[in-house]
Amino acid sequence: MSYTTQMDAARKGIVTPQMETVARKERVRVEDLADRVAAGTVAIPCNRNHAAIDPEGVGQGLRTKVNVNLGISKDANDVDRELDKVRHALKLGAESIMDLSCFGKTQEFRTRLVQMSPAMIGTVPIYDAVGFYDKELADISVDEFFRVVERHVEDGVDFLTIHAGLTRAAAERLDRTERITSIVSRGGSLLYAWMKQNGRENPFYEHFDRLLDICERHDVTLSLGDGCRPGCLHDATDACQVEELITLGELTKRAWAHNVQVMIEGPGHMSLGEIPGNVMMEKRLCHGAPFYVLGPLVTDIAPGYDHITAAIGGAVAAAAGADFLCYVTPAEHLRLPDLDDMKEGIIATQIAAHAADIAKGLPGARERDDAMSRARADLDWCRMFKLAIDPVRPRSYREASAPEVEDSCTMCGRMCAVRTMRRVREGKALAMAE
């Protein structure tokens, strides 16, 4: 029996190789996974043109996944340097790479990325359209926008961020709303400008079925972007954000009718207490579709440390039911991240995702933590390093400050509580003095 997409296969009772791979990774029954794919509560972004992919699932009952943003721009147009970042991101265990390229040799970067990456690949085609056509935004036609979408899909991209929910009505509401930061979504701002300058509806909303036809042909997942996501605490959970979310829920139903998988993108900046309610609202309004969040950043006053503010919000969001975290680096709001920034962002986001998976009680989520605890109880430093999310930093810390006695560290030395308890229980002398 043939099928068009993972969702179509699941609805026909077909277990695909991609479903088998994801079920094995997640320690769930493949039949249960297929039921969730059929219902839309799990997506397996997997373009049939992406030969190198090692499929991942995003959604209900699965591990929280981490995305890394990369790409070339006019100010940083070095393809090889960005591909080096890709290699490091994959080595650090990122499950997803988003190519946000907007200038220069975008197709070269994208095709090389797809060829080398086992991680799922996402793009935002409207970014590429402006640079690709080398013309003013207002002069880009609807057909030209869709030609870029088709090019990305043909190149093997697994999911597309499309800001289809930012309609003309939503833009008019935004104009009446007292937001501090207005629109902070790059794609959202471009579509807002295009609509205003042309006096027309959002082309991806008006021609949504055309978009669905493209995605269905290649089994590409739609990541419905939040053009009205809040860019500061003041703007969170306002009418603009909620209205767009309602529209995204309606579009989700239309996509599922075409067997197109969907993820919903979310905030943004938001106070800690608002996060669980926003996750619940997305799940309700968007019918349980997987939720993909940027942060949320829980304070606006930590430039240079936004990987931390985002990890705090990301842990709360994922524990409340968000499924996919976009990393944030220390360079957020300041510059294009370098390799060190990228690593800090990935590790912080992985910590948030893992902490949330423990809170959600996912199968096997605590096994590594318990193994780490046993290694600490045994004062087995090598084992601790192997189990660490980042084995490099803890090893370098220990090597930089050698203790007087091997079974301790330079903070407690001979007074180490673990060392004391082990020695007493083994009937050994404490040997506190020289």
Residue 228 annotated as part of some ligand binding site: yes
The counts of H helices and E strands in the chain are: 19, 10
Are both 356 and 232 inside the same structural domain?
yes
Those residues whose C-beta lies under 8 Å from the C-beta of residue 275, and which sit 6 or more positions away, are 296, 298, 313, 316, 317, 320
Q: Which of 129, 115, 134, 131 is nearest to 77 (CA)?
A: 131
- When the pLDDT of each residue in the chain is averaged and rounded to a whole number, the result is 95
Residue 24 lies in a domain: yes
Are both 94 and 198 inside the same structural domain?
yes
Residue 385 lies in a domain: yes
Are both 299 and 409 inside the same structural domain?
no
Residue 186 annotated as part of some ligand binding site: yes
CATH of the domain at 93: 3.20.20.540
Give 77: exposed, middle or buried? Use CB within 10 Å, 0-12, 13-18, 19+. middle
Range of the domain at 409: 404-434
Are both 354 and 422 inside the same structural domain?
no
Residue 102 annotated as part of some ligand binding site: no
Residue 3 annotated as part of some ligand binding site: no
Residue 354 annotated as part of some ligand binding site: no
Residue 265 annotated as part of some ligand binding site: yes
Helix axis angle, 275-285 relative to 306-319, nearest 10°? Answer: 50
In the chain, the percentage of residues whose pLDDT exceeds 90 is: 88
Are both 295 and 426 inside the same structural domain?
no
Are both 279 and 354 inside the same structural domain?
yes
Q: What is the mean pLDDT of residues 267-280?
A: 97
Residue 382 annotated as part of some ligand binding site: no
pLDDT at residue 431 is higher than 90: no
Residue 287 annotated as part of some ligand binding site: no
Residue 69 annotated as part of some ligand binding site: yes
Q: What is the mean pLDDT of residues 140-162?
A: 97
Those residues whose C-beta lies under 8 Å from the C-beta of residue 382, and which sit 6 or more positions away, are none
Are both 415 and 306 inside the same structural domain?
no
Question: Which pLDDT does position 186 carry in this prediction?
Answer: 95
Residue 1 lies in a domain: no
Are both 324 and 430 inside the same structural domain?
no
Lowest mean pLDDT among 130-134, 155-159, 168-172, 197-201: 130-134
Residue 122 annotated as part of some ligand binding site: no
- If DSSP states are collapsed to H, E and C, what string results for 271-319? CHHHHHHHHHHHHHHCCCCCEEEECCECCCCCCCCHHHHHHHHHHHHHH
Report the number of distinct structural domains present in the chain: 3
pLDDT at residue 139 is higher than 90: yes
Are both 389 and 296 inside the same structural domain?
no
Residues 271/298, Cβ–Cβ less than 8 Å:
yes
pLDDT digits (tens, 9 = 90+) for 354-394: 999 999 999 999 999 999 999 999 999 999 999 999 999 99
Pairing of strands 42-43, 58-59: antiparallel
Residue 98 annotated as part of some ligand binding site: yes
Residue 339 lies in a domain: yes
DSSP of 85-139 = HHHHHHHTT-SEEEE---SSSHHHHHHHHHHH-SSEEEE-HHHHHHHHHTS-GGG
Residue 59 lies in a domain: yes
pLDDT digits (tens, 9 = 90+) for 209-230: 999 999 999 999 999 999 999 9
Are both 269 and 378 inside the same structural domain?
no
- Rg, Å, the chain Cα set: 23
Residue 351 lies in a domain: yes
Residue 304 annotated as part of some ligand binding site: no
Residue 127 lies in a domain: yes
In the chain, the percentage of residues whose pLDDT exceeds 70 is: 100
Q: Record the tokens describing residue 296, joined without a space.
A: 């949320």
Are both 227 and 375 inside the same structural domain?
no
Residue 292 annotated as part of some ligand binding site: yes
Q: Record the tokens describing residue 94, joined without a space.
A: 């990122």
Helix (H, G, I), strand (E, B) or coil at 68: strand
Residue 219 annotated as part of some ligand binding site: no
Those residues whose C-beta lies under 8 Å from the C-beta of residue 365, and which sit 6 or more positions away, are 63, 354, 357, 358
Are both 235 and 322 inside the same structural domain?
yes
